[in-house]
């Protein structure tokens, strides 16, 4: 079976390709720049140059494929207009649906985000039944991914589709780096400043296995949270430091200071200056958004390992790339 993976050089996409190849699939990776691909050549892996915002290149890439795993998206936090998120994350998803219909694709697995579902507390974590919740419902990235998810689920009348929604992923092959930037924030520092909130951290390798599990066992029209451990930022940085034997001083940033920085970011954005600072993004750092992986464990059989696994592999990978 040949699987098309969009956004093939992304953190989750790269690890998903590894998981697919390990199970004997043939993989076609859609990528805008083959020089940015992080894996060595593989006999069952073919890279094709294309862009999900260009329908024709996507349709061409899907020819001869049996399934599509749609990973491509923009997660950039400094974009100044929602239209940019919409063009990539929503219209790009529409192009995936069109390519699937034209090429008689058997199944699409859409990579969403956990924040399209409402988070919960440590005692009652969020699950797939919870509706979106502020401040994430105001975040352009989450909003665009929710719209893309709605497009995919609406296509379930014509196609077999399953949604998987990872939380914050940690692990190897983080080329930008993206989520792994948090590792570099805490590694080798004498002082580590951290927000007061928390989130769910998942090993990217576990999430990738969950994606393939969803391809094989995911129910049509269903969504599955791929979640790991619920931790405060302070707890997470302690786990990073446990890997290194270092004992930096951890200092929690006050909520009012983060919100003030968010208002400054709003001003800069109004002047056309790109910055990840915004009121919404700073509010996100102040909440503890926790999730459950029970549905994925029960229906997909996905196993989730301690986040120390992902932290250790991320550190090893960053060191090998001379990024730490």
Whole-angstrom Cα distance, residue 63 to residue 91?
Answer: 20
Within a 13 Å sphere around the CA of 124, how many CA atoms are in the beta-carbon half?
3
Determine, yes or no, domain membership for 185: no
How many structural domains does the chain have? 1
Whole-angstrom Cα distance, residue 10 to residue 173?
Answer: 8
Within a 13 Å sphere around the CA of 158, how many CA atoms are in the beta-carbon half?
13
- Which residue range(s) make up the domain with 40? 2-174+200-229+290-310
Contacts of 112 (CB under 8 A, 6+ apart): 145, 146, 148, 149, 163, 164, 165, 166, 223
- The pLDDT, as a whole number, for residue 243 is 86
Backbone dihedral region for residue 64 (phi beyond 0: left; psi -120 to 50: alpha; all else: beta):
left
pTM value is 0.96
Q: What is the mean pLDDT of residues 179-206?
A: 95
Strand (E) or helix (H) holding 294: helix 294-295
Q: How many CB atoms lie within 10 A of CB 66?
A: 16
% of the chain surpassing 70 pLDDT: 100
- The pLDDT, as a whole number, for residue 244 is 82
Determine, yes or no, domain membership for 154: yes
Sign of CA dihedral 142, 281, 38, 237: negative
Secondary structure of residue 91 in the 3-state scheme? helix
Determine, yes or no, domain membership for 237: no
- The pLDDT, as a whole number, for residue 300 is 98
- CATH number of the domain encompassing residue 223: 3.40.50.720
- The pLDDT, as a whole number, for residue 197 is 98
User: What is the DSSP track for 152-185?
Assistant: HHHGGGTS-EEEEEE-EEE-S---S-STTHHHHH
Alpha carbon 56 to chain centroid, angstroms: 26
Determine, yes or no, domain membership for 244: no
Digit-coded pLDDT (tens) for 39-75 = 999 999 999 999 999 999 999 999 999 999 999 999 9
Task: Output Rg (C-alpha) for the chain, integer angstroms.
Answer: 19
Determine, yes or no, domain membership for 257: no
Alpha carbon 294 to chain centroid, angstroms: 19
Determine, yes or no, domain membership for 137: yes
Determine, yes or no, domain membership for 60: yes
Determine, yes or no, domain membership for 115: yes
- The pLDDT, as a whole number, for residue 207 is 98
- The pLDDT, as a whole number, for residue 175 is 87
Digit-coded pLDDT (tens) for 104-160 = 999 999 999 999 999 999 999 999 999 999 999 999 999 999 999 999 999 998 999
């Amino acid at each position: 079976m040949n699987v098309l993976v969009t956004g093939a050089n992304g953190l989750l996409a790269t690890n998903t390709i590894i998981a697919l190849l390990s199970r004997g699939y043939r993989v076609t990776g859609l990528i805008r720049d083959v020089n940015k691909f992080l894996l060595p050549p593989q006999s069952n892996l073919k890279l094709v140059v294309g862009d999900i915002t260009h329908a024709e290149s996507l349709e061409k890439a899907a020819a001869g494929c049996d399934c599509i795993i749609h990973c491509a998206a923009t997660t950039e936090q400094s974009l100044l207009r929602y239209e940019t998120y919409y063009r990539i994350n929503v219209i790009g998803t529409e192009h995936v649906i069109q390519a699937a219909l034209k090429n008689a694709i058997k199944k699409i697995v859409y990579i969403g985000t956990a924040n399209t579902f409402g988070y919960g507390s440590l005692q009652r974590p969020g699950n797939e039944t919870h509706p979106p919740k502020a401040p994430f419902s105001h975040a352009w990235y989450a909003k665009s991914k929710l719209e893309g998810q709605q497009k995919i689920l609406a296509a379930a009348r014509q196609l077999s589709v399953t949604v998987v929604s990872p939380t914050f992923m940690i692990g190897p092959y983080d080329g930008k780096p993206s989520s792994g930037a948090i590792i570099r924030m805490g590694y080798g520092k004498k002082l580590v400043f951290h927000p007061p909130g928390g989130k769910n951290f998942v090993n990217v390798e576990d999430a990738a296995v969950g994606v393939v599990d969803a391809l094989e066992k995911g129910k049509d029209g269903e969504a599955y949270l791929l979640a790991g451990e619920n931790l405060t930022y302070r707890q997470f940085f302690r786990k990073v430091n446990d890997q290194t034997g270092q004992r930096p001083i951890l200092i929690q940033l006050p909520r009012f200071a983060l919100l003030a920085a968010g208002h400054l970011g709003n001003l800069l954005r109004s002047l056309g200056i790109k910055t990840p600072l915004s009121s919404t993004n700073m509010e996100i750092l102040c909440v503890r958004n926790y999730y459950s992986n029970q549905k994925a464990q029960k229906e997909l059989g996905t196993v989730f390992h301690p986040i120390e696994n992902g932290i250790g592999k991320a550190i090893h990978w960053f060191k090998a790339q001379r990024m730490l």
